[in-house]
Amino acid sequence: MRNGSSYRRGMQVTFTRTAERRYRVTVDRELAPPLVMDPGPGYDPYLPHDLLHFIVECHWELRNGIFGQLAAGGDAHTFELADQPRDRRQARRRTRRSSRRNSVSGADIALSEKLAGVALTAWLVHTGRLPMPDDAETALGEIGVTEAEVVGILGRLDESASRWHALAVGESLTLDWPWPERRGGRRTA
């Protein structure tokens, strides 16, 4: 206990390998209901798309990106309530795809997408899986980051990729969101 209040652990995000080329993301929050996205988009044997976003948003301190919106009680237009039956979640997802009701309140989501693209490209070059793109410097300038900032994330991507790649089907990687939850995101229905 601190100053008479109970300790809060904050939002935790769990990435679970559900099949050889599939994953699920679950979000355990204290101030809002738990969420799930199953399957997760953009599978990669080392850095699934949403794991990459989580790392990028933590590295660049994007508190209003995808995971920041979840920490604010929203659903980022992609997550569903974890306790809903699967068929109801799928029906809700189809409805949302056909008509986006509100704009996403996460002001940093577009920046998160751009930084994720740059970080992934840099990491693929770093690991030898991709040659250096001719337009790399231009891409960095367009989103306002330096080469040093991108190099700074590579160690964290290496570590996370190694941990993810070592997981067997059914195993998980749980990460803590580094900032407190808050009120104010797009609410889940």
**pTM for the predicted model, two decimal places:** 0.83
Residue 3 lies in a domain: no
Residue 137 in domain? yes
Distance CA 188, CA 80 (A): 8
Number of domains into which the chain is organized: 1
Q: Is 95 a member of any domain?
A: yes
Any domain includes 187: no
Contact 52, 120 (CB under 8 A): yes
In tens digits, the chain (189 residues) has pLDDT values of: 344 445 557 899 999 999 999 999 999 999 999 999 999 998 899 999 999 999 999 999 999 999 999 999 999 989 999 988 766 555 555 444 433 433 335 688 999 999 999 999 999 999 999 888 888 888 888 888 999 999 999 999 999 999 999 999 999 999 999 999 987 644 444
Q: Give me the domain span that covers residue 31.
A: 12-176
Residue 64, domain member (yes or no): yes
For 8-34, the three-class secondary structure string (H helix, E strand, C coil) is: CCCCEEEEEEEECCEEEEEEECCCCCC
Residue 189 lies in a domain: no
Structure tokens at 107: 């002001």
Residue 183 forms part of a structural domain: no
Residue 186 inside a domain? The answer is no
Residue 93, token pair as written in the block:
């997802």
